[in-house]
């Protein structure tokens, strides 16, 4: 059964204005996956990320799509995105 890992309630990134926000969010998620903060099979909630980083859902979706393309996330329609 997938685990749900609560995300931080305070924005974790002071965004660099020279880089797209979705890339910086993807970097943060990659780091969390690498250090085990987001373990395998953990749910990655777009709603929680949207609130945490104070960005639009489309921005979060670009970040999760990039991680899905890299094989770090698996998305199941109707269930959500999970760490691979």
**Reduced 3-state DSSP string for 36-74:** CCCCCCEEECHHHHHHHHCCCHHHHHHHHHHHHHCCCEE
Question: What is the pTM (predicted TM-score) of this model?
Answer: 0.84
Question: Average pLDDT for consecutive 10-residue bins of the chain (84 residues)?
Answer: 56 84 98 97 96 97 98 96 98
- Which residue is listed with tokens 């953990």? 42
Q: Which CATH architecture has domain 20-83?
A: Orthogonal Bundle (1.10)
Q: What is the pLDDT of residue 9?
A: 47
Residue from 37, 35, 22 nearest 69 by CA: 22
For 75, the enclosing helix (H) or strand (E) is strand 73-76
- Spell out the domain ranges in the chain: 20-83
Q: What is the pLDDT of residue 7?
A: 55
Report in angstroms the alpha-carbon separations of 43 from 33, 39, 47, 59.
12, 9, 11, 18
């Amino acid at each position: 059964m997938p685990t749900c890992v609560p995300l931080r309630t305070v924005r974790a990134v002071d965004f660099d204005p020279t880089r797209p926000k979705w890339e910086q969010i993807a970097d943060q998620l990659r780091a969390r996956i690498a250090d085990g903060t987001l373990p395998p099979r953990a749910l990655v909630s777009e709603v929680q990320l949207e609130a945490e980083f104070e960005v639009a859902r489309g921005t979060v979706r670009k970040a999760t799509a990039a991680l899905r393309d890299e094989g770090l996330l698996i998305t199941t329609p109707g269930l959500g995105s999970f760490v691979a």
